[in-house]
């Protein structure tokens, strides 16, 4: 009997530390940075801590700014962004490619959109203009130019 209790506790501990993205309840969940409702499946983002705590954002720039407010706190967190070409599907933020284009608005005005590959981002850039960035570049751009910075 004790063996089963240990197995159950182990399973609960593992489940509690799940670092995968959980579904966002669009139209119900609020952004953990700006408190706006999360409604656009094409621009949302998520941060999942080491212990599995979920933070949800209505825009990628909100997540970038949230992380900036607590330097070092989220170094081990998993970061996810919505794939513009598959709305609502979360992809790893650090491996994604980003486009800032005035012709592709995002909820908080940074005109920032994520793509699963540079080829997809460049295809949209060809149609709509703008500049393509990596995750590390986009963090610098947002920190320098975003009016949401506190």
Q: What is the pLDDT of residue 2?
A: 63
Q: What is the pLDDT of residue 146?
A: 56
Segments making up each domain of the chain, as ranges? 19-141
Band of the pLDDT at 93, cuts 50, 70, 90?
very high
Ramachandran region, residue 88 (left: φ > 0; alpha: ψ -120 to 50; beta: rest)? left
Alpha-carbon Rg for the chain, nearest whole angstrom, is 17
Q: What is the pLDDT of residue 60?
A: 96
pTM: 0.84
């Amino acid at each position: 009997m004790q063996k089963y209790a240990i197995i159950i506790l182990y399973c609960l501990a593992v489940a509690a530390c799940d670092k995968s993205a959980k579904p966002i309840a669009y139209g119900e969940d609020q952004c953990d940075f700006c408190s706006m409702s999360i409604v656009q499946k094409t621009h949302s983002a998520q941060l999942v801590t080491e212990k599995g705590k979920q933070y949800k954002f209505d825009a990628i720039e909100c997540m970038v700014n949230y992380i900036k407010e607590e330097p070092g706190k989220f170094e081990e967190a998993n970061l996810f962004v919505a794939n513009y070409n598959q709305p609502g599907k979360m992809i790893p933020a650090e491996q994604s490619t980003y486009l800032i284009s005035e012709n592709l608005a995002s909820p908080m005005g940074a005109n920032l959109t994520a793509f699963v590959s540079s080829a997809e981002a460049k295809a949209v850039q060809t149609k709509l203009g703008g500049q393509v960035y990596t995750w590390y570049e986009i963090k610098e751009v947002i920190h320098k130019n975003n009016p949401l910075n506190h």
